[in-house]
Amino acid sequence: MNMRNVAPIRRASAAALAAALVAGCGSTVAGSEAGSAANGGLVADGTGAGGTSAGAPTGGQGLTGTDGGTNGSVGGAGSNGSLGGSTTQGQGSSSATVLATGTHSPVSIGFIYTTGREQATKALGATGITSGDELAQWQILVKYVNAHGGLAGHPISPVYFGINDTSSEPGAQQEAAACSDFTQDHHVFAAMSSFETSDTFLSCMQAKGDPTLITLESLADAAEFKRLSLHFEPGALNLDRQARSLAAALKQEGYLSGASAAAKPKVGIFTFNTPAYDHAAHVLADSVNRLGGSVDPQDIQEASMTDASNTSSASSGAVLKFRTDGVDHVLFLDGNGLLAFLFMQQAESQGYRPRYGLTSQSSGTHLAGLLGPNANNQLANSVGIGWLPALDLLPTQYPDNAGTSTKVLCVHLMRSGGQSQALSSPGAELVALGQCDDIFGLQAAAAKATGALSAAGIVAGFNAIGTSYVPALSFSARMDATHHDGVSTIRNVAYSTNCKCYSYTSQPYPASD
């Protein structure tokens, strides 16, 4: 079974809980170390992010262009349609259509947005959750791209499809409906989503010859990207690369050094039970064993991505297993911080405080905020790797004018378009920045394509981008024939009990392949 045959994290009983974690509440964590470049924050000129900063455009630059049918005010919702249904603005091209060079005919692009996340998480008892208006955010970006050349001269004609997190209809059925709407009813050229989708959607679009872009946290390993040759994640790092990068960083950070040469750290791994996550966990275990740690295959514990009760019970079981086996170091291959959060809650209740190793997909400083009074007990001395500053750092360490030029532009577009709610929490900001990477990444690939605009041309365009695309979500990107997940550099992170936050402890350096 392919890993994306399971429902994505956000739309199942476990999904709503994970959505609560990634959406998050506005940060209330503060400390004397927050915001200082010296302790791992990102300085305002963006150099701490390893990217090039630019001043935000003034006067709403580029926000008056056509969106393929309805101009409206910047950030206006336009015609929303019914939840779980589509909204079309303008006429577009047919599925897998080739658009001739030199013409300026509209190109139809599908955009998935979600609704009902706050209501879904409140139903699980989570309060104070904030998220942006993903439809309005897409509309802001379409207007901007169309005012700046569209896709290789073709204005985007958007087709919007809403997926409702409070719907009784299973997520896979909603995704199948989205594919049908995009490929049969509106014949889009390509599609993108503001949140992770499952294999139901991606395989359906691939079968129709339509490229897809989804940039948040990757749920795929290298084999998944190879199978889905028309799928791109400009701001993500695939699970296999995460595993190798984490192990190498832990060696560098002294995490795998025992009290003596004969005393190797006994390491456990907690992850999801999908084929892609399972494969990456074994890549991680092999790497840790080679670099000086000790992972027993029995100490690779896994939890369901779709069943909340299983995920919770598996977390408790993993804590008991690791304690019984004398595991003193615990690593996560995570998504939306769900596994780390549930595991640490159970660990604290059982008085178990191993040393942790994490990645951005455990949500970094955002995780510390969720753990509240238990944060220092659980996270003290934890280290890892990060490539998502919006989750890794406190908001005061990552203000609007910090990060790459694309990130600064994206934040400016959201605020000037009346969508400050898109930046109201770490998770909400993550979604908005991911949307920017999707649409700007597609625009960059179209600009690199030669000849007529086609699916094959888009693939060739992405393969030709190299390091020229500057991402919004991360520090730097590399897109080529063997890298359809774009993250090219990472940074080491370490937890501070003074600020209850993570800070960067290295400059950006190349992620493992």
DSSP per-residue letters across 230-280: TEEBTT---HHHHHHHHHHHHHHTTTT--SSTT---EEEEEEESSHHHHHH
List pLDDT tens digits, range 52-70: 333 322 233 333 233 433 3
| CATH code, residues 239-386+490-510 | 3.40.50.2300
CA dist 446 and 440 (Å) reads: 10
- In this predicted structure, what is the pLDDT of residue 19? 52
Residue that has been written with the tokens 């009990």 in this structure: 497
Closest-CA residue to 81 (of 159, 8, 3): 159
pLDDT band of residue 50 (cuts 50, 70, 90) is very low
- In this predicted structure, what is the pLDDT of residue 92? 40
List pLDDT tens digits, range 295-333: 999 999 999 987 778 888 999 999 999 999 999 999 999
List pLDDT tens digits, range 5-25: 333 444 444 554 555 555 554
Q: Return contacts of 426-429, CB within 8 angstroms, 24+ apart.
A: 426/24, 426/27, 426/363, 426/365, 426/366, 426/390, 426/391, 426/395, 427/21, 427/22, 427/23, 427/24, 427/131, 427/336, 427/366, 427/391, 428/23, 428/24, 428/130, 428/131, 428/132, 429/390
Structure tokens at 193: 């989503």
Class of 61-232+403-474 per CATH? alpha beta
pLDDT(36) > 50: no
Mean pLDDT of 166-178: 85
Same fold, 61-232+403-474 and 239-386+490-510: yes
- In this predicted structure, what is the pLDDT of residue 102? 64
Average pLDDT, the chain: 83
The radius of gyration computed from the CA coordinates of the chain, to the nearest angstrom, equals 22
Q: DSSP label at 97?
A: P
3-state SS, 348-391, equals HHCCCCCEEEECHHHCHHHHHHHHHHHHHHHHCCCEEEECCHHH
Q: Helix, strand, or coil here: 481?
A: coil
**Residue 3 identity:** M
Query: Are 306 and 6 a contacting pair, CB within 8 Å?
Result: yes
CA dist 80 and 240 (Å) reads: 39
Query: Are 203 and 228 a contacting pair, CB within 8 Å?
Result: yes
List pLDDT tens digits, range 97-154: 666 566 689 999 999 999 876 665 555 444 555 678 999 999 999 999 999 999 999 9
Closest-CA residue to 192 (of 212, 173, 216): 212
Edge-to-edge order in the sheet of strand 212-213 = 86-88, 156-164, 107-115, 190-193, 212-213, 231-232
210 half-sphere exposure, CB direction, 13 A CA radius: 29
Query: Are 8 and 196 a contacting pair, CB within 8 Å?
Result: yes
Residue that has been written with the tokens 């006429």 in this structure: 91
CA dist 429 and 486 (Å) reads: 19
- In this predicted structure, what is the pLDDT of residue 166? 75
Q: Where are the domains of the chain?
A: 61-232+403-474, 239-386+490-510
- In this predicted structure, what is the pLDDT of residue 62? 30
**Residue 389 identity:** P
Residue that has been written with the tokens 């003596």 in this structure: 260
Structure tokens at 226: 């190879």
**Residue 230 identity:** L
Query: Are 437 and 475 a contacting pair, CB within 8 Å?
Result: no
DSSP per-residue letters across 46-83: SGGGTS---PPPSTTTTTTS--SS---STT------ST
